[in-house]
Amino acid sequence: MIKIHKKILMKHLFKITSLILLLSVLNISYAKNFVINDEYKSSNFNSRIKQIIIHYTVSDTEQAFEELLGQDKHRSVSSHYLINNITSKKYPDYIYQLVPESKRSWHAGVSTWGSDSDLNNSSIGIEIVNKDGNLYPFAEQQIEAVIFLVKQIKRRYDIKDVDIVGHSDIAPGRKIDPGVLFPWQRLAENGLGAWYDKADIKDFTRTIKSVPDRETVKQLLIKFGYDFNTAPKDPKLYQSIVSAFQRHFRPSKVEGVMDLETYIILSALVKKYR
Ligand SMILES: [Zn+2]
């Protein structure tokens, strides 16, 4: 009897060992399945999307598609959205989504706004077809399309007005888009993006009689969102950041000099938003 049992045991043992050997050779693992219970919900969370960044393409529609779709081997750029200027048979619409909002598109490059840097991680990028938004006006349809789109994205992620900015705001000295002809004030009138209140300008005009020292101005620009840390050795950094601010909020005169009017606008914006 003992002999038979031993024989059967050996037979089974051989089978099990062979099976284990076979599984390890085939590299198959049998993971246990678990139920993911989502019955309990935390209220402590926010959106990963925090900014909307506006650009112009520096190219026409055809070239913009080519570059942003990844067909240009020399440039790895993309954006979540592209706003077309002239519709054609090939490109019949004004708004194109090229990258899902849940993915990271490559539009910002080295960039900082407030406490965030590398803004590809936390922003939605919108490219507008225009060769130079400092020279050529945007088409009316493009502006209406931007307003339509930004309104939706802002609502979807609860984005603050102060975090709807241009490429030049997040990469001053390196970028000048979307340019002085981008109508930030019109966007703000539609409840999108920051703009100063006229009453604050009036008050500050009465109380502020001169521009303070550079360090005080710098601290105020930092408070609003501009970054002085990424390129600290750039001798023109201060001028570039003042230019970026003017490009956005005082586009009639962009010369990188912090004059009284620019300083009053900055003070009014910091008071309202920061
Ligand atoms: Zn850009």
Distance 139 CA to ligand 1 centre (A): 18
Ligand 1: distance of its center to the CA of 42 in Å?
37
How many angstroms separate the alpha carbon of residue 164 from the centre of ligand 1? 14
At residue 8, the pLDDT reads 66
Residue ranges of the chain with per-residue pLDDT less than 50: none
How confident is the model at residue 77, as a pLDDT? 96
Closest CA relative to residue 63, chosen from 45, 51, 75: 75
Q: Answer whether CATH 3.30.70.100 is correct for domain 198-273.
A: no
Expressed in angstroms and rounded, the spacing between residue 268 Cα and the centre of ligand 1 is: 27
Predicted model pTM: 0.87
Q: How far apart are CA 169 and CA 244, in angstroms?
A: 6
How many angstroms does the Cα of residue 108 sit away from the middle of ligand 1? 7
CA of 247 to the centre of ligand 1 (A): 14
Rounded distance, CA 56 to CA 168, Å? 11
Give the DSSP letter string of 142-180. HHHHHHHHHHHHHHHHT--GGGEEEHHHHSTTT---S-T
- Catalytically annotated residues: 127
CA distance 68 to 99: 10
Expressed in angstroms and rounded, the spacing between residue 218 Cα and the centre of ligand 1 is 24
- For residue 75, the model assigns a pLDDT of 82
* Ligand 1 centroid distance, CA of 189 (Å): 23
pLDDT for 36: 96
Distances (CA, A) of 1 to 6, 10, 15, 38, 163: 9, 14, 22, 56, 83
Query: What architecture does CATH give domain 51-189?
Result: 3-Layer(aba) Sandwich (3.40)
Question: In the prediction, which pLDDT does 21 show?
Answer: 58
Do 51-189 and 198-273 come out as alike in CATH topology? no
pLDDT tens, position by position, 126-162: 999 999 999 999 999 999 999 999 999 999 999 999 9
**3-state SS, one letter per residue, for 47-79:** CCCCEEEEEECCCCHHHHHHHHCCCCCCCCCCC
Q: How many C-beta atoms surround the C-beta of residue 149 within 10 A? A: 20
Write down the domain spans for the chain. Answer: 51-189, 198-273
> How far does residue 109's CA lie from ligand 1's centre (Å)?
9
- What is residue 30's predicted lDDT score, i.e. its pLDDT? 73
| pLDDT for position 16 | 62
